[in-house]
Amino acid sequence: MTYPETRKETITDNYFGTTVADPYRWLEDDRSAATKEWVVTQNKVTQDYLSKIPFRDALKERLKKLMNYEKYSQPFKEGEYTYFYKNTGLQNQSVLYRQKEGAEAEVFLDPNTFSKDATTSLAGINFSKDGSILAYQLSGGGSDWTDVVVMKAANKQIVGDTLTDVKFSGIAWQGNTGFYYSTYDKPLEGSQLSGITQYHKLYYHKIGTPQKDDVLIFGGDQTPRRYISAGLTEDQRYLIISAANSTSGNELYIKGLQEKDSPIVSIVDNFEQNHNIIDNDGSKLYIYTNLNAPNGRIVTADAKDAKPANWKDLIKETDNVLEPSTGGGKIFASYIVDAVSKVLQYDRNGKLEHEIALPGPGTAVGFGSKKEEQDLYYTFTSYTYPTTIFKYNVNTGKSALYKKSGVDFDPSKYESKQVFYTSKDGTKVPMIITFKKGTPLNGRNPTLLYGYGGFNISLTPAFSTSVVSLIEQGGIYAVANLRGGGEYGEKWHLAGTKLKKQNVFDDFIAAAEYLISEKYTSSPYLAIMGGSNGGLLVGAVMAQRPELFKVAFPAVGVMDMLRYHKFTAGAGWAYDYGTSEDSKEMFDYLYKYSPVHALKPGVKYPATLVTTADHDDRVVPAHSFKFAATLQERQGGDAPVLIRIETNAGHGAGKPTDKAIEEIADKWAFMFYTMGLTYK
């Protein structure tokens, strides 16, 4: 491969006496003409390479066929209507419908009409308690910055002005006259997309008044916090405020709304654990917490004095991770048991009423509704079970099929197998391997190993048409549940953070070695993939063990671990990562595995297709730019190093269907082609 020459500059930083060069820092400026020219040039090289793959178009057509079926969301009730999302098949954005009982469904909001190229998406929607008025958020080009539009539900009449520059926010209605939302001050200097967003602010917006008159409720200079969210209890009695400085651990506050000018009262005054008020009966609060319970528990307290000292266990901690929800006056305790779902229904006194009978090992999501509703909905899915919606009655404990998937897929031809392999330090790690029945274990199967391993996020089974297009070709799809995730609670999470982050990489490398030793595949047929924190994972392990993998797909990755905290909300990730400024020990640790810095000249690295997007303001594309430039410079082998930069797209949310299909087709074509295989 002949790559475009990427200009190098003499820029260095000194960390605790160590000089670190940063020759490609100019690529951090997403506004510069030089960076834009670099993006165009790199995309041309990438597309020229991909266009020569003879089966690329066939893969794209197969993906279109697989994805061309009706898709529905779980329905939800607001006022006199039942709402649901539907995609007829290849629509770029799913459409929001509504339906009165006994009447035909009608289109309520069609995001495909928001912009000519369908890159403006519906980023959230919240109704007032009676369903008569709503606020919906619009994201342009996948950005985390949104606009908020207020509308009357009955006639879809827009109310007041559109709110602008809102970020990382829900909408919490108080009556029909106003709502709470959160945002940051937009950077005044430099890039609007990559500039640091330091402190969140919670505002109250009264309908019909200018945004400049919105009232600051919490945050700002007096209580500076990086993340602030708000919600109201269903009875509108309390405003609940959660505040945090990182992605784990939060303060908890409450404000009574029945009395005018009541104070905001602290319930939890530190960031050491996670807490959330999930429901209330009058002044009785139901609180989820992992205080003294790493796997989570539910406690109750009176709002008059709801400090932790007064908490009483309602549903005690178990050996499995708890994720609660409420609906129909019940509490649903969803547990993760070895990365699959188990769901129990409890009454308000903590008495077990039902275990929900699920179709098999997989992921069940939902079990939320208003208190008066006796029927609610949930979805069930696994790697071989297409996403299906079930209707559930809280009185009988029985489920009924509501919407079956229309995807062209025969589950009987495939199998998912969970294994437990041993990591470097002896830790047992689960992995689910999915493949076509009868696949020979001869070490020659094209295999995609996927991982994440961070931020307490759990990877549970989910059906994917993009995976189907791989395994129907005799491919194998393996998902490893690495430390750093949330599959086994906070202890599992912490075992993959800061000075223990190498555990995550060791777990992933051990997963690859297991797949090879058990003859599922071998290094010439093994690809690895991960996004965001998973992109960091891929970048780190390919630098540490380049000979182990044939292909690498680092997507929207955190690649410069010395500077990640200097962009957008990156400083909030320090709970998991630590920063290069914390201490010499922390700097040395980060510097050793940071993907941009760990690449060595002359090493034969895997064939690599880096993917990112020009509007990613979560993990700024400069991470991927600098990694790709460094890897192109230092690649000592013949394997290609390409970067695919999506334009007018962000971190992933709201990506149009056509862009998603093109990206997947490019990845699988690149994988098969560089492995010397053909698409059948």
CA distances from 491 to 186, 201, 576 (A): 36, 31, 13
Alpha carbon 94 to chain centroid distance?
A: 18
> In this structure, what are the phi and psi dihedrals at residue 234, rounded to the nearest 5 degrees?
-60, -30
Sign of CA dihedral 633, 447, 462, 544: negative
Q: How many CB atoms are located within 10 Å of the residue 170 CB?
A: 15
Contact 125, 108 (CB under 8 A): no
Separation between Cα atoms, residue 680 and residue 359, nearest integer Å: 33
Quick one: which of 610, 442, 594, 638 has its CA closest to 530? 610
The active-site residue, picked from 248, 466, 532, 594, is 532
Sign of CA dihedral 599, 602, 607, 608: positive
CA distances from 242 to 201, 275, 323, 590 (A): 12, 8, 17, 30
Contact 200, 226 (CB under 8 A): yes
CA distances from 483 to 453, 475, 516 (A): 6, 26, 21
Instruction: Pull the structure tokens for residue 490.
Output: 């906070």
Length of the chain: 680
Q: How many CB atoms are located within 10 Å of the residue 137 CB?
A: 22
Separation between Cα atoms, residue 83 and residue 538, nearest integer Å: 39
Respond yes or no: is residue 200 known to be catalytic. no
Separation between Cα atoms, residue 269 and residue 247, nearest integer Å: 16
> In this structure, what are the phi and psi dihedrals at residue 609, rounded to the nearest 5 degrees?
-120, 100
Share of the chain residues as helix, strand and coil, in percent rounded to the nearest 5 = 25, 35, 45
Residue type present at position 298: I
**Strands 251-256, 264-268: parallel, antiparallel or unpaired by DSSP?**
antiparallel
Respond yes or no: is residue 205 known to be catalytic. no
Instruction: Pull the structure tokens for residue 356.
Output: 């929900």
Separation between Cα atoms, residue 675 and residue 526, nearest integer Å: 9
Residue with tokens 């089966």: 55
Instruction: Pull the structure tokens for residue 528.
Output: 């690895």
Quick one: which of 74, 67, 71 has its CA closest to 88? 71
Residue type present at position 328: G
Contact 547, 523 (CB under 8 A): yes
Separation between Cα atoms, residue 257 and residue 239, nearest integer Å: 7
From the number of C-beta atoms within 10 Å of its C-beta (0-12, 13-18, 19+), residue 472 rates as: middle
Angle at 178 between CA 176 and CA 182, to 5 degrees: 135
Contact 483, 427 (CB under 8 A): yes
The active-site residue, picked from 275, 493, 565, 651, is 651
CA distances from 199 to 187, 455, 565, 567 (A): 11, 20, 14, 13
Alpha carbon 588 to chain centroid distance?
A: 29
Instruction: Pull the structure tokens for residue 14.
Output: 């000194």
Catalytic residues: 532, 651
